[in-house]
Structure 1
């Protein structure tokens, strides 16, 4: 299957290893992955802050750039939610667009991707993937099949981490309080790694954990699923 990688702004700018992992994983599963270089921001930030015409312009461009692909894949429930749920009312129906776990489980019909990740992991289901896309148990199905991985349930997992894009800037005190609750829940699991399907939430949670010198590492789900014994995950150095 020929698919296109939708990189998203945050991953492209700050978390390129997540994108490399996504491509490595998809190619391992037999996909031919294209990267349309003309792609830009999905416009979610503009849409959420009231700049609807700016968002509409970006949505139209996105639809043009990705037109004709069998599937568009992004390692971000937040951005996929914008494209899948809001684009039809802004700029017409986009190419079939999937959050990574949706594509793996629903389209490729696979849960065991041949991954190996010998670490204690807890998983945070991000708000957009959980509430807008309804990914449900797909991430847990994939993680449960990873060899060597000890998946530890996260208490109150469905509570928001407090990031919410511009919410964290406009409501800093509330965001910080929500983050404190989430970090307490993560630390209570004793996990080495906290994972999620959105780097935005991992940036928020990981930043707080780093300031506490907790030793818990934020790792995107794509990096866990791409890791094998022959090509293991290695921590990013930035």
Structure 2
């Protein structure tokens, strides 16, 4: 029996998603992007079996997850005028993921091109009505970056009553700089830099990324806050 039109469409979109995520993962040396590409490939390989039900389920699960991360990242990066590459990547992946989800659940193949167009158009429109400032590291910030589910430093030092931290996310998916004891929760989308300023009594505090699985993977550290600015 020939596969249904929706399954054929899903197969094509999934192939595009696989190539896009794999290429992005290799270019950015991003382990999570490569893992997503492998998961998409598993779904593609399962499509010929059991009328494609298992393949549809796997692809829908993976693509919903991708869309959930990429859509907010696309809007945030467009709003803050981040680098073009880090605007184009989440917008493109979000559009493909949304189209793939529609094809996976079999709503209708005619909706897919419309949703691809609407996703891209929504990002552009959002940039015009919700434009914000481009965020960069400032003098005096405690600088931190994230790559391959790792912070660049697991020990930080800051002085004074007010602490400013800038975090550059070099991964394809979101990260956070979270300190529960101080109610700090800085969310940073793909390829972006975000900063936060908070008050902190002198002491030692644990920071971590609260994205599920990242803290367990070792994405955490400690920041020591002293009563005055550190000498170095």
Instruction: Calculate the TM-score normalised by the size of structure 1.
Output: 0.26
Bigger relative CO (Cα 8 Å, ≥ 6 apart): 1
Greater Rg over alpha carbons, structure: 2
Q: Which has the higher strand share?
A: 2
Instruction: Calculate the TM-score normalised by the size of structure 2.
Output: 0.26
